[in-house]
Every structure is written in C-alpha cells, then in structure tokens.
A and B are shown apart, each in its own frame.
Chain A
Amino acid sequence: MTPPSEPKQLVDHLFRHEAGRLASVLTRILGFDRLELAEDIVQDAMLQALHSWPFQGVPDNPSAWLYRVAKHKALDVVRRENLFRHISHELMADYRSGSAESLVDQYFSEDEINDSQLRMLFACCSPVIALESQITVCLKILCGLSVKEIAGAFLTVPDTIEKRLYRAKEKIRAEGPRLEVPTGLQLSVRLTTVLRSLYLLFNEGYNSLHPDQLIRQDLCAEAMRLCVLLTENPRTAAPIVSALLALMCFQAARFDARTDEAGAIVLLPDQDRSRWNRELIQKGRLYLDRSAEGDRLSTYHIEAGIAMLHCTAPSYADTEWPTVLHYYDLLLAQTPSPVVALHRAVALAEVSGPLAALLEVSMLSGLDTNHYYHAILGDLYVRNAQPEPARQHYRRAWQLTPSSAERELLTRKLNDCNLED
C-alpha cells in the first residue's frame, strides 16, 4: 500500500489525552482492580498505531481507530473472563437482550467517556491518599503521562513515582472504589478534595521553577482540562468549580510574559502586558461570571477576583489597588496565614505607601526561611529609600532560594540597589 505524500497531522497531545480517556473507559468496563490491564490495553492500541499509521496512512478519525482497537481487546477480556454480569449490572441493562459487543459499545459514546473520566477523577482524588499522591495518580491515569515524564515534572526519579503510585493505588483499591460520581453531601466533600488537588497541580506548573517551561505549561493545561470536565457535567458544575477555573485562566493568561527570551524572570510590574493571552482572560471572565451564584464565597472566588483585577488593568500603576487590598482582607479572613498577609502587604504598599506595608510585615512571624518574604521586604525597603536593609534582605533571599532564575533576579536587584547609592 502506498502511503500518502501528505500524511494527516495529529492534534497536539492527542495520544496523551486519548490515553486518559481510554484508561477511564476501560477501567470502568473491567473494574478498578484491573486498572493495570486497562493501561496495558491502551498501550497496546497505541503501539499498534505506531506500527501501522506511518505505513498505511493515518486514519481519518485517529481517535475512533484507537477506540475500536481498544474495544476489541476489552471485549476479548470480557468474554474470556465472563464479565457480562459486571457490565450489565453497571449499565442496569438486561444482558440477555444485548450482546457483549453492544454493551461495551455503550461505554464508548462521548457522554459515557466523559462520565468515565469524571468517575476516575473522583477515584484518583481519594481522601485516603495524600494530595501529592492524588496528583501523581491523576497525571498517570487521567492525563496519560508516563512515570518518567511525571518524575521529570517533579524533578525526582522514576523509582520514587513508581513507589508513590503503587502505594496510592493499593490504598484506593482497599477502599473498594465503585468508580462513581458521589452524590448528595458526599459530593460537596469529595469535590473539595478534587479541587484542592487540581489547584495544587496547577500551582506545580505555575509557581514551580522547573527549568523546562513546556513541562510546566503542560501541568497547568492538564489541571485546566480536568477542571473543564467538572464544569461540563451538570452534577459537578458547582459555582466553586467555575471560580477555580476562572483563577486558572487568569493565571495561565500571563504565563508567556513571566519570562523573557533568555528565561529570566519578569515580575508583574515589568511584564509586557501585550503578551498576555486575551482569549484566556476572556474565558476567565466568563467563568468568573458563572461562579457568581449561590451563597458560598470560596478562596478560589477571591483569588480569581484578585487575578482578574491584575489581568484587566492596563498597567501595574493603573491597577485598582484599593479593591485588590479589600479582596486580600477577605482572603485573610478566610485563610489567615502569614503568606497571605505578606501578599496583602504588597497591595497595601500600593495603597498606603511602603512604610505602612513595612510596619505590617514586621509583625509577621514564621517567614524567616521564606525567600519571598525577604525578596518582598527588600523591594519595600528600596521603595522606602532604605537601601542597606534592602540589600540585607535581598542577600538573605539569595541564600534561601533554590532557583538559579530567582538568584539571577535577586542579583539584578542588588546591583540596582548599589547603583542608587
């Protein structure tokens, strides 16, 4: 067979996303205790694609091709192990009236695939395992990342990830998960855990100082994709979910402007705002609107509000700082923490001047080993025309930060300090 001269291009991350979708569907069909088998089937299907697509041409519908291959392999297992009863009970269908094939087929509709992913998301974000493990499990099963890729993202070794995955899956299995979306009061509780996990995953990508930008963007993108999944299902589309998604959109919108071509850090006041993603900001506003329902003002709502104020300000100076400060007051009331107070102080400096902020920050404790604390203090002292304490704090921050990019930034600030003298 002669392959085409213009082979069809595959959508970015198609395999990765389909791996997540397929693993979810297959696990639902075969049961959570057969998770590894489900992942093997997915791997096999993709390997088959690797061996045939370049030589026979990429199919018109690559996803459908993968689903068909995976479906057949799953059917083999269903027949061989007589899993009819399990499936039909799941679907509440009379298995006598349908063939195994038509039963399995039902799982592969778009709606059912999304449903399977949701169920898997709740299973992965099980409260019986640590948040860190929840993220790892999500990345492996739902986001189609390999152990090596996850280890790379978290700057650790594959062995560590393997162990974490193993222990997490054992714990989840011990709970006897029935792969379902929780309902009633349980839903609200479980949703909190899921959202915290997604928030953490997003932050891993956004705040991490990992040398590889692409990996970090991937982590943010995956967190957003899973959050979108929640907003698209009426059962899980609570206002708090829209609030988190709005926050993610606003933060992600600024991603490109946060580093320059050489990879150096560019702080908010200096960012080229034309490099902010308008589309994402617009999306953020839509989701923020949708989140303005119900009687619950969550920290995600407040953080999203702050992020929106930054994203819609024409410049750092023209930001509505009094409103930002007010939001930080609300945030502090909900989550009293020295770190929140520290960020609030930055807003306070814009509203009432650096001295007021310095007075507030001097009353905070427990932050002495936090390099941001010292960096911010440095900035405040500079603005208050006190270069000597500024230098001391910049040096301390330099000692404390593990990141070479941040050290480079702090060195620049120290040099600027010295110039002003």
Chain B
Amino acid sequence: MLIFHSPYSQETAFAQQSPEEMQAEIQKWNHWIGGIAAQGKMVGTEALLPVGRIVSKGGQLITDGPYTEGKEIVGGYAIVSADSLDEAAQLGHGCPILDGAGLLEIRPIMKFD
C-alpha cells in the first residue's frame, strides 16, 4: 500500500488553486495512476477528504479530525500489486504527492495464508 502524506498547508493550498492549476493536477494524477494501471498492477486507489472524526481514549473522546499532532494529513492511498517493497517503491516514482512537500509511505499488506 502506498499512503499519501502531505502537510496541511499543501491541502489548503489545493483549495486555493485556480481552475487551470486544478486541471493540471488532475492530469498529473491521471498520468501516474494510469501508468500503474497500464501495467496491470493497480488494485485500488482512493482520495480521502480532509474531514472526519478522531475517536480515542477507549472510545470516550470524539473530536473532529483528522488533526494529528504532526500537522500532516493522509490524503489517500493506492494499493498496488508488486513482488517486493522495492518494486512497490518503483511504482511510487512520479507520484504527484512528491511534487510538493508530501511524502509516500510504502507498506506491504499482510497476507494470511
């Protein structure tokens, strides 16, 4: 799984983009995702809206979220089919999240056989 992390400032910056810039951003993501899908290695991918809820303290505390301490937010994920962590990292090349100050977290999905 490739998890997209970006600083909050980037998320809010997106909201301020001009129509032209937003279209360019969409094309960038299309290009990256399409590239992986063309190799038959895209299992699934979604964007997450920057709103929601955090439940903590054994379920006692519910706050509006996702306001993590690190001032970073998970923007979405992509599940890809790869034979190794290295290959997954290769597929992560060109991910638009890396254009700004974002980062890509690459984790293998546990398989219980």
List the interface of chain A (C-beta within 8 A of B): 1-7, 9-10, 13-16, 18-19, 42-43, 46-47, 49-55, 58, 144-146, 148-149
Contacts and interface: CB of A to CB of B under 8 A. Distances in A.
Contacts of A145: 18, 20
A377 B31 CA distance: 54
Given A16-B19, A55-B47, A55-B76, A49 B26 contact: yes
13 contacts: A5-B38, A5-B40, A9-B27, A15-B22, A16-B20, A43-B15, A46-B19, A50-B22, A50-B26, A51-B49, A53-B29, A55-B29, A146-B21
B83 to A, nearest CB: 19
Interface in B32-48: 33-34, 37-38, 40, 42-47
A56 B25 CA distance: 15
Given A3-B45, A5-B38, A47-B14, A54 B22 contact: no
Nearest to B25: A50
A46 to B, nearest CB: 5
A46 B23 CA distance: 8
Contacts of A19: 19
Interface string B86-106: 000000000000000000000
Nearest to A42: B19
Contacts of B23: 10, 13-16
Contact of B18 (A4, A7, A14, A149): A149
Given A16-B19, A148-B18, A4 B26 contact: no
Given A14-B23, A15-B20, A149-B20, A4 B34 contact: yes
Contacts of A146: 16-21
Contacts of B21: 146
Interface string B1-29: 00000000000001111111111011101
Interface residues on B, range: 20 to 34
A14 B49 CA distance: 24
A75 B99 CA distance: 37
Given A3-B37, A4-B37, A6-B34, A54 B29 contact: yes
Contacts of A53: 26, 29-30
A55 B77 CA distance: 10
Q: For chain A, what secondary structure do more than half of its interface residues adopt (helix, strand, loop), or is it mixed?
A: helix
Contacts of A149: 18, 20
Contacts of B26: 10, 49-50, 53-54, 58
A3 B42 contact: yes
A144 B19 CA distance: 7
The 9 A-B residue pairs with the shortest CB-CB distance, nearest first, are A146-B18, A54-B29, A15-B19, A7-B30, A15-B23, A5-B37, A5-B38, A19-B19, A51-B47
Contacts of B22: 15, 46-47, 49-50
A120 to B, nearest CB: 16
Contacts of B25: 50
Given A2-B44, A52-B47, A55-B47, A13 B33 contact: no
B66 to A, nearest CB: 15
Nearest to A20: B19
B19 A47 contact: no
B73 to A, nearest CB: 13
Given A2-B42, A2-B43, A55-B46, A7 B33 contact: yes
